[in-house]
Amino acid sequence: MSLLCSRDHFLSVVCRSFMGSIIALTVAAFCSLQALASEDLETEALPIEVQVDLYMAELTRLLEFEDNVGIVNLVPKIRALNINIPNALYFIEARALYATGDAIQARESLLVYLNQAGREGRYYQEATNLLLEVRALAAEKEARNAELLAARKQAQELAEEKARTLRNREVQSLLFQAGFPKTPVTGEIDGLTREALAVFQVRQGLTVNAEINQKTLTKLRAAVPSSLTCDTLANRPFAPGDYIKINDIDYQNAVPACNEAIRDYPVAARLHIQYARALIAAGRASDAERAIREHVEIGYPGAMHVMAELYREEGLGEDGKADYETVESWLLRAAERGDYMAQMDLYRLYANGAAGIRKNLALATRWLAAASDLDHIPASFLLGQHYERGQGLARNYEQAADLYQKASDKDHLAATLALANLYERGRGVEKDQDQALVLLIKAQSLGAEALERRIARLKKKRSS
């Protein structure tokens, strides 16, 4: 018999400890069961009877100090010894679990105890009373856990859907740039996208299934580089963003850089468009037209816009003058296909008029609105000005405020100042000096000058 079971002082300590009677029974049960313990332990492990003695001594100490966390951690170790567990141990465990706030596991341990000990169990009454308390708490916790699980599942599904959409948009954007201008960049895989995928897979010698897979994505990424020297010198993005005007292109460096880029990445449409614009800047109109012709035929809106720039910048009309009617025709073709630069050029063309083109503010603002809908921030600001002033459309301060806010959120300086004015005067928005002050301080941080006196005046008003 083990040392733990043979010494009187141990039983006396057990009897004085918290729930001493329970542990006394548990110890006695363990002593009687040690002969049945498994002997298939690793050679370096302690004998099973020694492990039992140590654990029981530890359990006695934990009960004496009412260390419920320690009990919760210890009981699974006792269970792992692969010996028969006295019923009372499940009751001890249940009480400790309940005390540490784990109502669900406490319920499970109580059910095990009641199932094994039955009505004859010494702690039957205490166990049934505790079970009544625990059940309600366990049900509440399970309900909360179910809600959390559902929320996590929903969040995971949303994250997976977002990841799929982003991947689809990347593929569609790459296909758009790789010779398939009809591919919509929506994140939803449609028939046009599948058709483009299939053709691209054929051209690249891939398995043709019109599906997005890693091999196809890798080939697309390799075919369409993210950024090159050509982009730095002659940037002309398909989506709204910063671009380099033709007159500002360093054509002496841009022409060879873009020519080299095209040799390395022949399917990247933007490189052909940027090369053509660099040629226009160099005064090589006929070369620019030849460089862009194929992409015009394919249907690239950006290439059509380059054709408009050719007729406007290089005077391809009669007598070497700009042919604005032809410019308008090319701009319309590009703008109707969603090219934001063509839409902005149409706005300027109709807002100012030109040879053969009548000034038409209503038509101008229509194309300005189209560019704003594509999230071209300068277009949103300008459209806001038209609404504020009632130029080309009915005056609408609320609409102006919304557009200024949209542009200000993207740190557009002039829009931030314009929105501050509306808040200060209460036009289109509720008059709010505090918000006007916030916007003026933001405008100052964006680089606006000579605002000190105005900011000081608003601060003085707020403090008075």
List, for residues 5-45, the tens digit of each pLDDT value: 333 333 333 334 334 444 444 444 444 334 333 333 343 46
Domain map of the chain by residue range? 3-122, 161-222, 231-362, 376-464
User: Would residue 246 be called left, alpha or beta, if left means φ above 0 and alpha means ψ between -120 and 50 degrees?
Assistant: alpha
Model pLDDT, residue 41: 39
CA distance 169 to 162: 10
In this prediction, residues 443-461 reach a mean pLDDT of: 90
**In the structure, what pLDDT confidence band is assigned to residue 241 with cuts at 50, 70 and 90?**
confident
Q: Which of 34-38, 251-255, 299-303 has the lowest mean pLDDT?
A: 34-38
Model pLDDT, residue 16: 41
pTM more than 0.85: no
**How many of the other CB atoms lie within 10 Å of CB of 34?**
18
CA distance 271 to 306: 13
Contact yes or no for 109/93 (Cβ under 8 A): yes
List, for residues 322-365, the tens digit of each pLDDT value: 789 999 999 999 999 999 999 999 999 999 999 889 999 999 99
In this prediction, residues 382-403 reach a mean pLDDT of: 97
Q: Give CATH for domain 231-362.
A: 1.25.40
> DSSP readout, 349-398?
HHHH-BTTB---HHHHHHHHHHHHHTT-HHHHHHHHHHHHHTSSS---HH
Both tokens of 169, joined, read 């948009």
Average confidence score pLDDT of the chain: 87
Query: Class assignment of domain 376-464?
Result: mainly alpha
